[in-house]
Each structure stands twice: as structure tokens, then as C-alpha cells.
Amino acid sequence: MSKKILTSILLTCLTVFSPTLTAALCATDQPFYEGKTIRFIIASGPGGGTDTAGRLVARFLPKYLAGNPKIIVQNMPGGGGTIANNYFANEVKPDGLTIMQDSSSGVANFVRGGPTIKYDPRKLKLIGGVARPGSLLLIRNDAQARFTNRGAKPVVVGDTDGIRNWIAMTVWGAEYLGWNLRWIYGYPGSRELQLAIRQGEIDLWATQNAKLVNDLKREGVTQIVVTEEDHRREDFPDVPTFIELLGTKKPTGLAWQAYLAWAGAPELDKFLVAPEGTPDHLVKSLRDAFTKGMKDPEVDKEGDKFFGDGWKPIAAEKIEAVIRDHIAIPKEAKDFITKLRQKYGLPVGEAKS
Amino acid sequence: MLEAAMEGLTGVLQPEALMFMCLGVLIGSLVGFLPGIGGPSTLAIMLPFVMTMKDPLLVIALLVGMDAVGNTASAFTSILISVPGSSGSQATILDGHPMAKNGEAARALSASFVASLLGGLFGALVLFASLPVLRPLVLSFSSPEFFILTLWGISMVGILSGNAPIKGILAGILGVLIATVGLDAKSGIERFSFNVSYFWEGIDLVLVALGIFGIPEVIDLAGRKGAIAKAEEFGRGYVQGIVDCFHHWWLLLRTSIIGAWVGFLPGLGSSVADWFAYAHAVQTEKNRENFGKGDVRGVIASEGSNNAKEGGDYIPTLAFGIPGGTSTALVLTAFIAVGIKPGPDMLTSQLNLTFAVIWTLVIANILATAICMVFAKPIARVCFLPFYAIVPPIVAFIFIGAFAANFHSYDLTALMIFSLLGFFMRRYGWPRAPLVLGVVLGDKMELYLWLSYTRYGLEWLARPMVIVLIVLLLASIAYPIITGRKHKPSLAKA
């Protein structure tokens, strides 16, 4: 064999096998996650609430997981979490090495249904979640005069997929308070929406991020209209709740049941999941690590910085129950939502049961 | 701003970041003087590994460091053996190699290194100076303007692709089509997925870049056999080359401005910058009869511009998320993967990272020049490395990189398909840069068109800034055709 061929083979073997050989030589009786890498999918683009929550968890999870694995974060935006959820449910091995930061949009899209939904959130293994204070609806200062004037150009509401929880508030506002709105959707995430409201491409948007809300107000871009919570936010005591704003116009019966079904429970915000079929002992390890991580003072500090005061960790069992309740809304309420969505030009799917 | 500037500086001066920057500079320099392994190919190879890193500062230090200096060391082969180490050093050959033949290789090399350094520093300065105007500029743009910018980017790369504008445009369209594969980001509807779930996520840019650039270059290198090339004598005039740069400071400043401007314009790359700068030097300098026969001003013009271009290139990349060329498109992919968010955030909450990019451009250029100046003679000898010592590890790295991202066997099949496509495109003179840029910008283009239409109807076409950009776009397309592409900028090898 010539010297050239020998050199080539030697260099190739060294490149390919050196990590494997090192790992094999170092292998001992070790915790499952030792020396392993977890793929951490975030069901959104970088920069929004789901991403921020995901990156916060990804930073602290390995510290409390026996074996201190490495974590690779991968954003998978699109379709309000549909792309990531479809991929996660159908492509990911349930080996405890791939987990996903999901959000309420993934559940809402499932409820809306349609041919694009190829997952079932009820089958996911919940690890834990975080819930932030309710969204604050913001309107550009230069659009306020048109907000309730149906004769003027409609105020433009921007969203990723037209299904987020706070969109319910705008639809019910248009229906019962005469808000003059038009919806456009397709923005990849909160970062793009934030830019769009600054640019004036959209006039109305909601976020839970207190810092961002204050920044936009300070810059003279927006004012706060309302908060979606049923009680006033501690950090924004002067901002009325949506129920206060509805006052005597608050609908009752099926219409309100439908609103609550769309707006969802406050505990259903950002949550971490493992795929269906993940072994119970691995799910338990992940849940324990998540719970311990959430008690870390540094997580608390970082969470306050990004989400504002009032965010809280939610136990896996609680989120599982909320998801089940959210999906089990009556058919009449679903039909009511569908009718309103059709009326206001929002995307409509086929309801899942 | 001062605080962010200091934060950016201390960030890149952390021992770990500095180490990664040195690594980036070394890889960038190595790639620079290995003809056949271009900057985009190396960035593509690095991408799967870099995307696993968590600290954005380390990613900036490594990738920006690597990207900033590729054109510095590439002067070695351009001058010594008349083969451009990178697409940005093609014009350097015109005077650099004749100087080497005249026994002045050392003078040409030192002039090119100092011009590269000063050009690179000028590019960083331009990026810094643009910061105050970037925010209002970004906020004055909306989806319609962004759509035209993406269209401009792909069209320009296509049009300026060697002697094949039609092929360039078609390659760009193919790239955009590849970007449409997968679940539609707005609705989740399947497109071109043929009921195969592998396609849901779309075609991974890493695989496209590795296949289109990585493998074909390696095949080409292996096809040459023997050493990379025979080198000319090192020659004389090492100190004189340094003096030349300062003597011709006005030319260096002008060509650096051209480089930074070319970098700022979407779609134009360093392979255009050096030709524009060289043409400018020939048109404007006195005593031009020596150009092409070994005039040091030709080397200074070309090398100053191609490094200045890097700073300009990062302006649209950081401010709009629209990369100026293939390299910044790949850097941008890594940035997004590690949580760096191009757009107004880069001028507010992430201003420290913008400064980290600027400082990396500064420090990397100084480091690369120092390495090239001090180790010029031993580095020149690397040109004698036999192909069989270089090719196998690179091939292994490419396949590991493709597989490591998802551990999916289909990724290897996709890599081989794109490698074949890249090989045939290279062989039959089809430019590859537009295809990759099409993949990078395809989904953005679709998104901005959708938002433009749903938000403004057809009225978006009447927005004043859109009209201005369309006129510029058409002029950019028409100009090279009308002038018969006088300067023949070529991206065909990029």
C-alpha cells in the first residue's frame, strides 16, 4: 500500500474515530445523562416569550439533572408552533434526549384543528412550565383615534397565526365593544411583531413582557389599552381588565364560555414536554430537575428580568389537567368561535375532538 | 453607547472568547491560503459544530474572526502562484503575481497585508459610524421594502455571476424553490414534502451549503493531485511594501470606501469589491501604464477593498437580518441559532453584541496581519502540502457535520444529492452563490411578500421607498448588462 493511501486512511480514521475512542475509554457506570447531549427544541423563532422561557430553562436544567448533560437549543418556528409540534410528535425518538419548549399556541392550534395538525398535546409528557402575568394590549398612539371609529381605516392587529390567547380579546372587543379592527397574521414571532408595531406596519399587539411594554410607552410608540387577566396586574395597577372594559356589555352564556375557552387558563403559557413514550424514569428525572431549577435564585432573578414580577413555575400535573380541560370544550363553544373567526377573516380549521 | 462598546470589548477579550477568535483567525488564514477551500465552504463545514455553542460572544469571536481575515491570507497564493486563495483576491493576481515574477513577492505580500489591515479597520469604522443612523433606517422600512431588498440581494448575486447572468438568476430561483420545501411557516401546510415527514422541517441550509460548496471544492483539490502548487521565490522589498501603503494612503482610503459600500449593498460580495476597486485605481491613478505589469497600487487597491467590505457587509446583516453575501448568510444562520437577533435589538438590547462584532473585526484583522507578516515565509511553504494530507480529513469533517446536526441518515443522502448538484454546477459554469442565497432568503422573501399584500393590498407597490428601491434594483440589473459588464466581476467560483 502506498504511503499516500496510508496517510489518507490514518488521517481519516483519526478524524472520525477519536471522539468515539475517547468516549469508550472513559465509559463507566454513570447516570443516564452523563456525557449525553439533550436536543432542546423551541417551538418558536428566537426572541419571543417561548424562546426566552426555553433558553432560561435550557440554561439551568443541566445543572440539576444527574450527569449534567450538554444542551443544544434549536428554534423551530412556524405555524404558531404547528411545525415544531408536528415534528416532535412524529419524528422524535422518545429516548429522553429530545425535549421541546411549547406554548399555549400549540394547544390552541390543535383545538382549532385542520389538516395541518398532526399531533395531540394530550399525549405529550409534561415536564413543567412557567406562567407569566396576562398579556397587555398595546395600541400605537397614532391609531387611537380610529380604534372605536368604524368609519375610519381599521386599526391593524398583528399576530403569528391569529390563534394566540389574547386575540380572543380583540375579537370579542370588535364584537361587543365596537372596536374597529382588521387582523393580519404570518409574522414569525414576537420579535418581528415588536418591530412591526414600531414601524407602524401594525397598530395593535399584545405582550406579557413588562419591560417591553414600558420601553414602547417611554419611546412614545404605544399606550396600554387593557390587560387580559380577570384582575389588574400588580405592576400595571392603572390598566383595566378586559372584563372591566366590557362592563355591562359583557356577554353571557355560550358567548362567554367560548371566550374563556379561547383565552385559556392563565396556567397554560409556556411549558416543557418530552415525546409520547418517553420512559417514566426519565420523565421523572426531567421533572425533578425542572422543579429544582425553578427554585434556583438566579432563575428567579433572570425570570423577573425577562417576564416582569408575577411569573411563576407551574407543576407538570397542573398543566396536563389544564390542557385536557382546554381541549374538552363543548362543541357549541367551538362552533361559536369558528363563526366569529370566519366573520373577522381569521384562519379556520376543522375542530378536533 | 460607550458602556455597550466597553461591554463588547471586554466580552471579546475574555480568555475563552480570545481563544476562539485566535482559532477563527487561524482557520480563516489557513483557508485563505489553501486555494480551493473557500471561506463559504469552511463556514458551512463549521456551522453544525458552532450551532451547538451557547455563548453568542464565542460564536461572534470564532465566525466573525474567521470571516474577517479570509481575504488577508489569500494574497499568498494570488501573489505567489497566480491562484486566488479566495474569490476576493482575484484582482490581486493582476499586479501581485507579476511583482512576484519580478522578484518583488515580499514587497507585494507586505503591501497586501498592510492594505488588508487598514481596509479591515476602515470597514469596522464604517460599521461603527453607521450605528446612529441604522435604527431610524430600519424603522423607516416595512415588509414591502424588505421584500424588495431580498429580491435585490438574490438578483444581484445572480446577475453578477461570472458571464452567466441567466444561469445566475435560475440558480437563485432554484434556491428560492428549495426554501419552499416543508411545512408553510404561516399555516403549517405541507409543500413539496411528498408525504415524507423528513421534509416537514424543510431542507437544512447546512446540508445545502456543505453539498454545494464543500464537496465540489474538495473534489477539485483532489483532482489536481500532487502539491497545491509550486511557489515562486519569496523575493525582496518587504519593508518597501509597508511604506507603499502609507505612501498611497489616498488610494487606499478610496478603495476602502468602495469596499465598504459594496459590502453594504445586498448581494454584492468581495469578489466584486476587489474588481471595482482595481478598476477605480486604473481609471483614476496617474502613470497607469504599469498596471497589470506589477504595480503595487493594484495590490493595495484590491486588498484594501476586500477587507473593508467585511465591515460594510455586517451592516444589512445586523440591522435587517439580510446578509450581504454567502459568508454573512452562513454567519447569520449561526447567529440566529445561538439567540442573536438581527434587527433593532442589535442597536438597543444587544448593542454590546454589535460592538463585539466591531471589535472582533478590529482585533481579528490585527491578529491576521501579524500572523501573515511574522510567519510569511513558513506559511508560504504550506502551498506545498500534498492533496492526500488535506482532502480525507476535510471529507470526514463534512460528513460528520452533516450527520451530527440531526443524526438522520436522510441528511447524508441529501448531502450527496447537493454535492452532485454542486459538482455539476461548478463543472458546467453554473454559479452556486445565488442558489445558497436563494435558500437563505427564500422564506424571508415569501414572508415579506405575504405581509406586504395582506397589510397593504396592491398599494404597497406605490410606497415611495419601494419605488426608489425598485428603480435601484432595475438600474443594478441593467447597468452591468448595458456596460457589457466591463469589469467582469465573477462569482462563478464562489
Look at the block and give the residue holding cell 402575568: A133
CB contact under 8 A, B190 and A83: no
- In this structure, are residues A66 and A101 in contact, taking their beta carbons and an 8 Å threshold? no
- Domain extent for A119: 37-132+267-327
Q: Which residues of chain B have a CB within 8 Å of the CB of A51? A: 339
A252: closest CA of chain B, how far (Å): 32
- In this structure, are residues A221 and A197 in contact, taking their beta carbons and an 8 Å threshold? yes
Pairing of strands A98-103, B190-191: unpaired
Mean pLDDT over residues B27-52, rounded? 71
Q: Pick A116's closest partner by Cβ from B188, B337, B340.
A: B188
> What ipTM goes with this model?
0.76
Look at the block and give the residue holding cell 453578477: B160
- In this structure, are residues A300 and A347 in contact, taking their beta carbons and an 8 Å threshold? no
Q: Which residues of chain B have a CB within 8 Å of the CB of A61? A: none
| Better-scored residue on pLDDT, B133 or B489 | B133
Q: Count of A–B CB contacts within 8 Å?
A: 131
Q: Please tell me whether residues A170 and A122 are part of one structural domain.
A: no
Backbone angles phi, psi at A129, to 5 degrees: -155, 175
CB contact under 8 A, A186 and B450: yes
Q: Pick A201's closest partner by Cβ from B143, B341, B386.
A: B143
Percentage of residues of chain B with pLDDT beyond 90: 15
Q: Please tell me whether residues A226 and A271 are part of one structural domain.
A: no
Find the CATH number of the domain harbouring A236.
Answer: 3.40.190.10
CA angle, corner B273, sides to B214 and B111, nearest 5?
95
Counting as low any pLDDT under 70, the low residues of chain A are 1-29, 46-47, 305-306, 308, 349-353
H runs (alpha helix) in chain A: 3-26, 49-64, 82-91, 104-112, 167-176, 190-199, 210-218, 242-246, 253-263, 280-294, 297-307, 316-327, 331-343
Element (H, E) at B121: helix B105-140
d(CA B26, CA B134): 32
Find the CATH number of the domain harbouring A125.
Answer: 3.40.190.150
Q: What is the pLDDT of residues B396-427, one digit of tens each?
A: 877 877 776 566 788 889 989 999 999 999 88
Q: In terms of CA atoms, which chain B residue is nearest residue A42?
A: B337
Q: Please tell me whether residues A145 and A214 are part of one structural domain.
A: yes
pLDDT at position B267, please?
52
Q: Please tell me whether residues A295 and A254 are part of one structural domain.
A: no
Q: Which residues of chain B have a CB within 8 Å of the CB of A72? A: 51-52
Q: Pick B393's closest partner by Cβ from A12, A116, A202.
A: A12
Q: Please tell me whether residues A77 and A206 are part of one structural domain.
A: no
d(CA B215, CA B391): 10
Interface test with B, best of A39, A187, A195 (most B CBs within 10 A): A195
Percentage of residues of chain A with pLDDT beyond 90: 41
Q: How confident is the model at residue B491 (pLDDT cuts 50, 70, 90)?
A: very low
pLDDT at position B134, please?
75
Q: What is the pLDDT of residues B151-172, one digit of tens each?
A: 877 776 666 555 677 888 888 8
Q: What is the pLDDT of residues B284-333, one digit of tens each?
A: 778 777 877 888 898 999 889 888 888 888 887 887 776 766 677 778 87
Q: Please tell me whether residues A91 and A217 are part of one structural domain.
A: no
Q: What is the pLDDT of residues B178-216, one digit of tens each?
A: 999 987 777 767 888 887 777 877 888 778 877 887 788
Q: How confident is the model at residue B224 (pLDDT cuts 50, 70, 90)?
A: low
R_g of chain A computed on alpha carbons:
23
Q: Which residues of chain B have a CB within 8 Å of the CB of A70? A: 52
Check whether B35 has a pLDDT greater than 80. no
- β strands within B179-285, DSSP E: 182-183, 190-191
Check whether B86 has a pLDDT greater than 60. yes
Identify whether A210 is part of a domain. Answer: yes
pLDDT at position B492, please?
40
Q: Which residues of chain A have a CB within 8 Å of the CB of B463? A: none
The DSSP secondary-structure symbol of A137 reads E
B451: closest CA of chain A, how far (Å): 7
d(CA A339, CA B68): 56
Q: Return mean pLDDT, chain B.
A: 79
Interface test with B, best of A6, A9, A12 (most B CBs within 10 A): A12
CB contact under 8 A, A115 and B450: no
CA angle, corner A321, sides to A317 and A327, nearest 5?
145
CB contact under 8 A, B397 and A82: no
d(CA B226, CA B248): 39
Q: What is the pTM of this model?
A: 0.72
Backbone angles phi, psi at A104, to 5 degrees: -60, -25
B281: closest CA of chain A, how far (Å): 41
Q: Please tell me whether residues A273 and A164 are part of one structural domain.
A: no
d(CA B190, CA A117): 11
Q: Please tell me whether residues A108 and A142 are part of one structural domain.
A: no
CB contact under 8 A, A4 and B386: yes
Q: Pick A86's closest partner by Cβ from B200, B337, B386.
A: B200
CB contact under 8 A, A191 and B343: yes
d(CA B338, CA B330): 13
- In this structure, are residues A186 and B186 in contact, taking their beta carbons and an 8 Å threshold? yes
- Please list the residues that pair with B247 across neighbouring strands: none
CB contact under 8 A, B388 and A201: no
Please report, for chain A, how many H helices and E strands are present, in that order. 13, 11
Q: In terms of CA atoms, which chain B residue is nearest residue A17?
A: B396
d(CA A324, CA A308): 28
> Which residues have C-beta within 8 Å of that of residue A8, sequence separation ≥ 6?
B388, B389, B391, B392
A250: closest CA of chain B, how far (Å): 30
- Number of structural domains found in chain A: 2
Q: Please tell me whether residues A217 and A307 are part of one structural domain.
A: no
CB contact under 8 A, A78 and B344: no
Contacts made by residues B55-58, CB under 8 angstroms, sequence distance 24+: B55/B16, B55/B17, B55/B338, B56/B335, B56/B338, B56/B339, B56/B340, B56/B353, B56/B356, B57/B11, B57/B12, B57/B14, B57/B17, B57/B353, B57/B356, B58/B16, B58/B17, B58/B20
pLDDT at position B486, please?
53
Q: Please tell me whether residues A141 and A241 are part of one structural domain.
A: yes
pLDDT at position B87, please?
65
Q: Please tell me whether residues A104 and A117 are part of one structural domain.
A: yes
Mean pLDDT over residues B46-63, rounded? 80
Distance set, CA B485 to CA B159, B163, B428, B440 (Å): 10, 9, 21, 26
Identify whether A313 is part of a domain. Answer: yes
A198: closest CA of chain B, how far (Å): 7
Q: Please tell me whether residues A124 and A272 are part of one structural domain.
A: yes
Sheet holding A37-42, edge to edge: A70-75, A37-42, A98-103, A270-274, A125-131, A312-314
CB contact under 8 A, A76 and B201: yes
- Please list the residues that pair with A136 across neighbouring strands: A207, A227
Identify whether A13 is part of a domain. Answer: no
Q: So where are chain B's domains? A: 2-482
- Give the three-class secondary structure for A208: coil
